[in-house]
Structure 1
Amino acid sequence: MDTFKAILVKEKQDQVTYELEEVELNTLSDGEVLVKVAYSSINYKDMLAVQKNGGVIKNYPMIPGIDLSGHVVHSTDKRYTAGQEVIVTGFALGMSHTGGFAEFARVPADWIVPMPLNFSLRDAMVFGTAGFTAALSIMALKEKGMDKNTDFRILVTGSTGGVGSIALQILSKIGYKNISALVRKEHQVDIAKSLGATDVIFTDELGEQNKPLNKQKFDYVLDTVGGEIASVIIPQISYGGSMSMCGNAGGIKLTSTVLPFILRGVTLLGIDSVNVPIENRSHIWEKIANEWNISQSTLLKEISLKELPPTIEAIKNGKHLGRTIIKY
């Protein structure tokens, strides 16, 4: 292997560009394990990575891609052997460390999760960071009392995007019966219902944030967008309810009063998928690979690396649905 294909993000004359290039092995960041990438996936964060002032990549040139699955080619760490199937998501991958949008990746051994049994390289990237985040969100809400045997009112925002679409499917698969999906456009209604939503709510039906406390409509909220949408929902969470928060597609500002928290005991649960300790990851991936596995039914598109730009633009313009994975 003299050269291989990779997406390379560059900064020149105050402009950020990206394109498919032939690169050499010494382009890759340091690490104990060299992986032949089989699949990667495209996330909202990957879209930000190729934008000027996207806040993801600070040093150029850089190979983006915060997810990958593949086979170990070579390892100086005894935990991993040639041919072994592995998953890498999060940490600094695709940010300050060359990432998954390439035919090869070199990563620290401490970032690697061995592939669970009965789970394929493709399955792993159907989930990727989006699915990992959805699983973390559901686990956090369950710890706060979200029980499938009780008719709790659950709301999923960003319901046809990467995290939201997987969250809907997992919730439906494991037995939740009262799941509302928040959508913006009419064509998303049937999609959300096909993913497991039992009801669909349009964003303009939520009302405006004009009261510190509003009618108690939702017991648990899995929020993927943040911003104004999250701000409007918080006063509508019922007594003792909780909302997980994992995204900022709707903005980073949150406007609220203390009243939902001190008068209704509402809990906000911050979800971070990037720096989850490696010792906790295998357990989560095992759950994803088994009782929470929806990889055969998810809303999915498979592309090649050279087809990346249109998907990036769709995410940027809010027109992307479900999951898109890259096959190498």
Structure 2
Amino acid sequence: MFNALVVEKDEDGKTHAGVQEVDEGRLPQGEVTVGVEYSTLNYKDGLCIGPGGGLVKSYPHVPGIDFAGTVEESADVRYKPGDKVILTGWRVGEARWGGYAQKARVAADWLVPLPEGLTTRQAMAVGTAGFTAMLAIMDLEDHGLAPGQGGVLVTGAAGGVGSVAVAVLDKLGYEVAAVTGRPETEPYLRELGASRIVPRDELTEVTKKPLESEVWAGCVDAVAGAMLGRVLKQMKYRSSVAAVGLAGGAVIEGALITPFILRGVNLLGIDSVLRPYEDRVRAWDRLTRDLPIEKLEAMIRPATLVDLPDLGAAILKGQVQGRVVVDVNA
């Protein structure tokens, strides 16, 4: 038996989440059984803990789209008991039981080894959000972004993706502008490395202008919606925006084709769910080098399984700052 956060749906279609004891025989099939040590909290987790968001296909369900821990059993030669591993993506925690439990069973192909220099706690301080932020920065660099070209904008900067993006970009030598709708987060963002704070209201008004003044050399966007529509019009010639989220809505309000045609702007979609193994290893290797550990520690908000129903509701309202690290054994 082990403890897990289990989400159930009643006859009226309402979901309820609580910590329960679960028999190990209920774990899904997979080659590797992991003793989970830490997980974290992402926007998708908030959906899966609460209304489901169309992500959860059957109940009862164990959410948690990422986890880090120690291999207990393995039918795959790549992993043996005692190995430290990380899982992000592959629809674990959505279509399959996930990391909000003391045990998880998954396909070996979905795991990556814990990089040297990281603990399982630090890996989940990074989590899917930080991993996605690193993928976004890598793709921006692969499309020509380099320090010295001008400011790099990070939207939703006080959230999980944004926090890691700000810290990494600052360490790499970029001039970072952080967008936030919460003035109280300014000291936090400046400590992470933001040299400029952009109030959210400056970028949410929908305009009919085909283009605006060239301001940004690159952008990590976790918001989409009207904000992305404005940002695209402010991008420099042949610059790129890495789109990682849609907290502001899936429709890019006010967007026109003009930035793409007249300025050659690239809109890069960043998928972290099905990213190939080689990219995953590269991203985690970069994180161990390019993410300052002391800044990572400053982002951490500790939590337990019992805290997750409230935290899940809070993240859907944009009320969670930094990185929630869930100790599933506490």
TM-score range with shorter-chain normalisation?
Answer: over 0.9
Kindly state the Cα deviation for residue 10 of structure 1 after the two structures are TM-superposed.
1.4
Match of 2:176 among 159, 170, 179: 179
Whole-Å separation in 2 of the counterparts to 1:293 and 1:266: 27
AA partner of residue 325 (structure 1): V
Do the aligned partners of 2:204 and 2:226 also contact (CA within 8 Å) in 1?
no
Structure 1 residues not aligned, in runs of 5+:
none
Correspondence for 2:189: 192
Whole-Å separation in 2 of the counterparts to 1:304 and 1:192: 25
Correspondence for 1:55: 54
Whole-Å separation in 2 of the counterparts to 1:48 and 1:91: 17
Correspondence for 1:141: 140
Do the aligned partners of 1:170 and 1:293 also contact (CA within 8 Å) in 2?
yes
Aligned length: 323
Whole-Å separation in 2 of the counterparts to 1:206 and 1:6: 41
Kindly state the Cα deviation for residue 84 of structure 1 after the two structures are TM-superposed.
0.8
Correspondence for 2:302: 302
Match of 2:212 among 211, 214, 235: 214
Do the aligned partners of 2:34 and 2:72 also contact (CA within 8 Å) in 1?
yes
Correspondence for 2:318: 318
Equivalent positions of 1:38-187 (< 5 A) are: 38-148=37-147, 150-176=148-174, 178-187=175-184
Match of 1:8 among 6, 9, 29: 6
Kindly state the Cα deviation for residue 12 of structure 1 after the two structures are TM-superposed.
1.5
Q: Which moved more, 1:48-57 or 1:64-73?
A: 48-57
Correspondence for 2:18: 19
Do the aligned partners of 2:164 and 2:291 also contact (CA within 8 Å) in 1?
no
Kindly state the Cα deviation for residue 34 of structure 1 after the two structures are TM-superposed.
0.5
Q: Normalization by structure 1: what TM-score? A: 0.95
* Structure 1 counterpart SS, 2:308: helix
Whole-Å separation in 2 of the counterparts to 1:28 and 1:164: 33
AA partner of residue 48 (structure 2): A
Percent identity (aligned): 39
Correspondence for 2:272: 273
Q: Normalization by structure 2: what TM-score? A: 0.95
**What CA deviation, in whole Å up to 9, does each residue of 1:33-78 have, x standing for no partner?**
0100011011111001123251221211111000100001111111
Correspondence for 1:201: 198
Q: Which moved more, 1:310-319 or 1:57-66?
A: 310-319
Whole-Å separation in 1 of the counterparts to 2:172 and 2:214: 25
Whole-Å separation in 2 of the counterparts to 1:238 and 1:125: 34
Match of 2:291 among 278, 290, 293: 293
Do the aligned partners of 1:126 and 1:295 also contact (CA within 8 Å) in 2?
no
Taking structure 1 as reference, are residues 155 and 254 closer, same or farther at Cα in structure 2, changes over 3 Å only? same
* Structure 1 counterpart SS, 2:97: coil
Match of 1:224 among 222, 225, 238: 222
